[in-house]
A and B are shown apart, each in its own frame.
Chain A
Amino acid sequence: DIQMTQSPSSLSASVGDRVTITCRASQGIRNDLNWYQQKPGKAPKRLICVASTLESGVPSRFSGSGSGTEFTLTINSLQPEDSATYYCLQNNSFPRTFGPGTKVDI
């Protein structure tokens, strides 16, 4: 099974900051990686697919990069509404595996 790790597990930042979250896979997954945002009491929302493709309607301050085993989610100019937990997901193979999440406080 492919194990996914995320760092940091949590962070606190200010409005306008640039934030970077890293996700690592235990083996190469090409670019088969998604990023999700989850706010308390809500279902996750996919922000980015295939490592770097932004979903329609997602603000351009979000971006993703990486391939193989290391990936990053960057939020430029952090906004109050970006306070949430962010998860990565590998969809390269079964079983699908999520990272443990990164909680972003603003």
Chain B
Amino acid sequence: EVQLVESGGGLVQPGGSLRLSCAASGFTFSISWMTWVRQAPGKGLEWVATINLDGSDKFYVDSVKGRFTISRDNARNSLFLQMNSLGVEDTAVYYCVRYATMDIWGQGTLITVSS
């Protein structure tokens, strides 16, 4: 069974940093592009970032460029999202999603940016 389990969410102050992790299982992670999507409370879905197989290509939504970094560790079947200079507008549930075509989603982890 394909599983994606996010961790690392929580409360952080504006300007702070947080690193999200996603543990993947049930499929060959190393041959799978991976994606992060977020959803602010009561709002719609927003694509955040996608990474290719070996991490050599990364794509970001404009609002996080220069602040967020997507990365992966294929040996550990793990996806990461390093988030710096967080603002209140980054408050959301963050989902780890398989493929750039987004078929399987994790359960999500909540990030709250507040003082």
Asked if B101 and A98 sit within 8 Å, CB to CB, the answer is: no
From B11-19, B68-76, B79-87, B103-111, give the one contacting chain A. B103-111
A42-60 CB contact bits vs B (8 Å, 1 = yes)? Answer: 0111100100000100000
Instruction: Give every chain A residue within 8 A of B105 (Cβ-Cβ).
Output: 43-45
Asked if B103 and A95 sit within 8 Å, CB to CB, the answer is: no
Asked if B47 and A96 sit within 8 Å, CB to CB, the answer is: yes
B48 to chain A, nearest CB (A): 9
Interface residues on B, range: 20 to 34
Bound together, the chains give a CA A38 to CA B100 distance in angstroms of 19
Count how many chain A residues have C-beta atoms less than 8 Å from C-beta atoms of the other chain.
20
B98 to chain A, nearest CB (A): 10
Partner of A87, one of B45, B61, B62: B45
Instruction: Give every chain A residue within 8 A of B60 (Cβ-Cβ).
Output: 95
Partner of B101, one of A91, A97, A99, A100: A91
A97/B106 contact (C-beta < 8 A), A34-B101, A43-B95, A49-B101 known: no
Asked if A95 and B102 sit within 8 Å, CB to CB, the answer is: no
Decide if B59 is an interface residue (CB 8 Å cutoff): yes
Most buried by A among B44, B50, B106: B44
Give me the interface of B with A, judged by CB distance under 8 Å: 35, 44-47, 50, 59-62, 95, 100-108
Give me the interface of A with B, judged by CB distance under 8 Å: 34, 36, 38, 43-46, 49, 55, 87, 89, 91, 94-101
